[in-house]
Amino acid sequence: MKKTVEETLLERRSIRRYERQPIAEEDLEFIREAIRNTPTSYNGQQYSVIEISDQALKEQLAEIVGQKQFKTSARVYAFLSDFNKIELGAQALGLDNPGFETTTDGLIVGTVDATLAMMSAIVAANSRGLGTCPIGYARTVAPARISELLELPRGVYLVCALAVGIPSEMPDLKPKQPDDLLFFQNKYGTDDLAEKVVAYDKTFTDYHRNRSSNPSDKGWIEEILGYYREGMSYDMLQALRDRGYLQKS
């Protein structure tokens, strides 16, 4: 099933339940092509992708990361920030490598490239009627174990995983921030920004209460602050340094 660009972008939602069916080879190839044509900083293509189809490995990842989409989706892609390939090339050609990944901007560049590549995959997969769900916990929960399992060399870290498969659920679309909260004109913000944030919190909380699956009384801001607290419990600085990143500032 092919969708229009409008359907692809505006009907996308994260899918966490999948049919146990393989993805058509033609769709997998289209996802690869879309990933390959992602724009990248300096055209340095500071990313790689591991396609994970081995069910035993997917189950191991589900267990470690605690996200069942690893197990139930037909395919998982691990999007990596990758400065290993340029290092290998520099060594082979006898060129001096300044080690960009040791700097903050190097980290940002690799992360942006890998994330844009993931978005290419999301759009490509959704345009073929497939469901997708990014899995950021693959980065945070157990970075050393995941790096070992996927045999990541120095200069490579897993930015985000993406589950892809045939959807067996179609959850309600989440209400997103309205235009006047999201888009500013010519400068940042508006005078009544706090009121608008609180109004969106109410919109989202009403959706939370009334949605067809997993209703909840939790407010949007309250929920997000909880996620931030959890995120702050992971020592990402050390995890990134262990991968060869951020050794300079």
Ligand X SMILES: Cc1cc2nc3c(=O)[nH]c(=O)nc-3n(C[C@H](O)[C@H](O)[C@H](O)COP(=O)(O)O)c2cc1C
Residues within the interface to ligand X (CB under 6 A): 13-14, 16, 67, 133-137, 160, 174
Q: Please say which residue, 19 or 87, places its beta carbon nearer to ligand X.
A: 19
DSSP codes of every residue in 172-207: PPPPPPPHHHH--SSSS--TTHHHHHHHHHHHHHHH
Closest residue by beta carbon to ligand X: 136
- Which lies closer to ligand X via its Cβ, residue 16 or residue 243? 16
Question: Could you give the CA distance from residue 81 to residue 91 in angstroms, rounded to a whole number?
Answer: 19
Q: Which is nearer to ligand X, 7 or 87 (CB)?
A: 7
> Which of helix, strand or coil describes residue 238?
helix
Least Å from the CB of residue 161 to ligand X: 8
Closest approach of Cβ 26 to ligand X, in Å?
25
Report how far residue 78's alpha carbon sits from residue 201's, in angstroms, rounded to the nearest whole number.
32
CB of 100: closest distance to ligand X in angstroms?
23
- Nearest distance in Å: CB 111, ligand X: 10
Beta strands 47-52 and 131-135: pairing type? unpaired
* Shortest Å, Cβ 75 to ligand X: 16
- By the 8 A CB rule, do 72 and 18 touch? yes
What does the angle CA 227 – CA 191 – CA 200 come to, to the nearest 5 degrees? 40
CA torsion sign for 173, 179, 184, 186 is positive
Nearer to ligand X, 15 or 156 (CB): 15
> For residues 147 and 233, what is the distance between their CA atoms, to the nearest angstrom?
19
Q: Which is nearer to ligand X, 13 or 154 (CB)?
A: 13
Residue (97 or 177) nearer to ligand X, CB: 177
C-beta of 176: minimal distance to ligand X in Å? 7
